[in-house]
Amino acid sequence: MGLGLVQVYSSSYIFAIEKYNDGFFFIKKQFLFSFLGILMIFLIPRIPFKHIKNYSFLLWILASFLMALTFVPGMGIKAGGATRWLSLFGGLRFEPAELMKIGLVAILSTYIIHRDHVWGQWKWPMRVMVILFPMVGLLLQPDFGSFVLCLAVVLALSFAFGLPWKHIITSALIVIPSITALILMAPYRRKRIFAFLDPWSNPDSSGFQLIQSMMSFHSGGLTGEGLGEGQGKLFFLPEAHTDFTLAVLGEEMGYIGFLALLALYALIILRGFQISFNAKDTFLKAFSLGLTIVFGLSVFTNVGVVLGLLPTKGLTLPFMSYGGSSLISMCFLLSLLLNAEAEYRRNNSYAGR
């Protein structure tokens, strides 16, 4: 989080001066979001895990309700052609999709502990609808990237916890053609695919952002230009303080700084997998695995996009990109993971006695 604050300040200062006549405009807000996130990290791990286990499904209900509110006139905020945000007090706004990713893990983990009573019975299609209907809201906003990430989480957890192969194959036969059709039906998605395959075919429009990102990484070299010395953020690289902030880091801190950041992410992901692997309680195992997958996919997707390994999509980089919804949601996710780890340690301690 400390590195993220430095990154937000470095990547947003010039832009904030030009747009708001205040170079500290974004960093001041990010400090507030960080403070709220730190409160979560200290307080939520102290909640007894049994309460999280019994009531975590309410996160999915809350996230689905907030998602529905984005379509209510006067409450939903439209930006960049999508209505993804809710208007809050003080000019702040919140993106329910970030909470939906965590709520999805909670409802799936709840289903998994009752899987013996669900798989193969008529209740199974009904429960699938409870998950899919709110996710359709992501497509209507539209937020295709979050929709695909949520689908990946559903399939990964279902596979890990014994969803019958006939359901997995059937799901794949439905999902893959559907995703392909959704991409082909939307002109802006097709443009992103073509820009991903060959950004130099249209360097002034659809390929511009990716080309500038690659140029920033190239300029950084092994050791970087130095903190604050990057040129890409000087209105060459779009979304320099949000979706493409990693390119700014690559230019200023170089390949060494880039690898150091990936190592920090890898440490968090590894610890999450260890908690899940060693846990004896099924809900704890599923919950910690799901949270780790959400975090890992968020990192993987943003890094892949910025490096040109995935088509361009507006998903933020956890802890590094500017944005209250992303930062607070990731702090919430990790505070839940810390709670799961505390429960795992308590269980092992009791077992040792």
The CA distance from 287 to 153, in Å, is: 11
Question: Each residue of 85-104: pLDDT tens digit?
Answer: 998 776 778 999 999 999 99
Residue 288's pLDDT is what?
96
Q: Is the pLDDT of residue 119 over 60?
A: no
The Cα–Cα gap between 119 and 43 comes to 36
The partner residues of 82 in beta bridges, in order of sequence, read: 79
Q: How does residue 235 score in pLDDT terms, banded at 50, 70 and 90? A: confident
Could you tell me which residues come within 8 angstroms of residue 277 by beta carbon, excluding any fewer than 6 positions away? 285
Q: Phi, psi (5° rounding) for residue 77? A: -110, 125
pLDDT of residue 122: 52
Residue that has been written with the tokens 């990484």 in this structure: 217
Quick one: pLDDT band at residue 121, thresholds 50, 70, 90? low
Mean pLDDT over residues 107-125, rounded? 70
Query: What residues have CB less than 8 Å from 2, skipping those under 6 apart?
Result: none
Mean pLDDT value of segment 303-323? 92
Quick check: helix, strand or coil at residue 142? coil
| Cα distances (angstroms) measured from residue 274 to each of 106, 125, 187, 194, 285 | 19, 32, 42, 39, 10
Q: Is residue 87 helix, strand or coil?
A: strand
pLDDT at 246: 95
Q: Does pLDDT of 120 surpass 60? A: no
Contact 207, 240 (CB under 8 A): no
Q: Domain spans of the chain?
A: 1-46+201-353, 59-185
46-60, 181-195, 338-352: least confidently modelled range: 338-352
Residue 53 has pLDDT above 80, yes or no: yes
Pull the structure tokens for residue 350. Answer: 């009791």
Mean pLDDT value across residues 321-339: 94
pLDDT at 341 over 50: yes
How far is 27 from 29, CA to CA, in rounded Å? 5
pLDDT band at 123 (very low <50, low <70, confident <90, very high): low
- What pLDDT does residue 327 have? 95
pLDDT for 114 equals 75
pLDDT at 139 over 50: yes
Total-model pTM: 0.93
- Residue 78's pLDDT is what? 83
How many other C-beta atoms can be found within 10 angstroms of the C-beta atom of residue 90? Answer: 7
pLDDT digit string (tens) for 14-38? 999 998 999 999 999 999 999 999 9
Give the closest residue to 109 by CA, choosing from 293, 265, 269, 266: 293
State residue 124's pLDDT score.
65
Token couple for 267: 């440490």
Residue 352, pLDDT above cutoff 50: no
What pLDDT was estimated at residue 79?
Answer: 78
Residue range 114-130: mean pLDDT, rounded = 64
Among 31-35, 112-116, 119-123, 221-225, the minimum mean pLDDT is found in 119-123
SS3 call for 227: coil
Q: Please compute the mean of the pLDDT values over residues 200-208 and round it to a whole number.
A: 86
Asked whether the predicted pLDDT for residue 289 surpasses 90, the reply is yes
Q: What's the token pair of residue 214?
A: 């690659």
Question: What is the percentage of the chain residues whose pLDDT exceeds 70?
Answer: 95
pLDDT, tens only, 156-173: 998 898 777 777 788 788
Q: What is the pLDDT of residue 266?
A: 97
Helix (H) or strand (E) run with residue 76 in it: strand 76-79
pLDDT score, position 65:
93
CA–CA separation, 265 vs 276, rounded Å?
A: 17
